[in-house]
Structure 1
Amino acid sequence: MEEQGLDEMMQDLNAVPACISAMIDTGSVESHRYFLARRTVLEMLRDRGHAVPDDEIQRTLADFRSWWETKPEFDNLTISYPLISDSSKKISELLVNITKHVLKPHHQVLTPEEKGELLLQYKVEDSQIPRMLEKDAVARYYGLQKGTVVKVTYEGELTGSHVTYRCVV
């Protein structure tokens, strides 16, 4: 009886319309994890100012799997894009982009000029700005150095929109 039930399920699965069956992921879990990790790394590199083409980030899982094939070559594992502001610097090798999480406030890295204006406007020094540790997840994501100031914008139903600043220590 169990065998008959299995046969019926297989017939039902084979009868699934093409539009729905296209949404069923039949690939390996490992390739899906590599796909997600690679996309997150590419987004992170772009957020850090590297010249990552849109088509690399928008690559679909099916395209990734056909490009990745069954056994990846070392060249496919390497990620190397020039820094837009300094093309001589490259980052290579690194499943979730933390800056896109719905509960994470928006972080904007201030330029040295914007930092100077902020310090003048509020008549404060670096040490008087609330701190963000260099090992904080957002600081690590952006590759922030000590002394960098980040504008943090919170959006909430109860608190509304408000801005704070953090200095990396």
Structure 2
Amino acid sequence: MEESGVENGGGHLALMPSCMSSWVDNGSVESHRYYLARRTILEMLKDRGYDAPDSDLNLSLHEFRSIFSEHPDLERLRISLPLLSNPSKKIIVIFCGTDKVKLGVIRGIRGQIANDTSLTRLILILQSEMTSQAKQDLSLFQVDVEIFQGTLFLVNLAKRYASLWFFNSIGSA
């Protein structure tokens, strides 16, 4: 069996079978999390009837990193999609990063989307908490705003439960 060297925590090379080394992710944890979250959000939006392109849904982790880098710029991760049944209605998804979301951030977002007349819904993906002042300022938005913690999107629970239901129903048949 072919083996490859992988550096372990002490700086020494540990031998790992090559079939297993192909599963080792040498990229950043940050990019992997954003990849999983973005893909799950796109799946959710497709389920809600938005025009999520298959090319984005089927993006591999390697392709994601080549497009967005190991340390993705949050502006580039932004998603903007029309509703299939009414393309004049649009949703935007904004990733807010790891810092506490303060009033200035929310006001900045409101300023960015203020003139977008086709925007009907906004989703904010947080990785930390939002201040009470920032939450209050959300009431000034002219669109429906949803707030989610980014960790919720690392796994698509709807898919996971659907597959568990399928396998459980096969076992009981």
Q: TM-score, normalised by structure 1?
A: 0.51
Aligned residue pairs total: 103
| Corresponding residue of 1:155 | 169
* 1:10 and 2:13 are equivalent in the alignment: yes
Give matches, 1:17-28, under 5 Å: 17=18, 20-28=20-28
Greater shift after overlay, 70-79 or 88-97? 70-79
Distance 2:74 2:56 in 1: 18
Q: Secondary structure at the match of 2:42?
A: helix
| Corresponding residue of 1:97 | 156
Distance 2:31 2:74 in 1: 15
Q: Going by fraction, where is strand more abundant, 1 or 2? A: 2
Distance 2:83 2:41 in 1: 14
What runs of 5+ residues in structure 2 fail to find an aligned partner? 1-9, 94-124, 126-153
1:71-110, CA deviations, whole angstroms, 9 ceiling, x for partnerless residues? 433431210111000101111114121211146658xxxx
* CA spacing shift, 1:33–1:70, aligned 2, 3 Å: closer
Which residue identity does 1:84 align to in structure 2? L
Distance 2:171 2:14 in 1: 49
Task: Indicate if the aligned counterparts of 2:31 and 2:72 stay in contact, CA closer than 8 A.
Answer: no
Distance 2:159 2:92 in 1: 22
Larger Rg: 1
Q: TM-score, normalised by structure 2?
A: 0.50
What runs of 5+ residues in structure 1 fail to find an aligned partner? 1-5, 107-153, 161-169
| Corresponding residue of 1:127 | none
* 1:48 and 2:48 are equivalent in the alignment: yes
Q: Secondary structure at the match of 1:87?
A: strand
Which residue identity does 2:48 align to in structure 1? R
* CA spacing shift, 1:91–1:105, aligned 2, 3 Å: farther
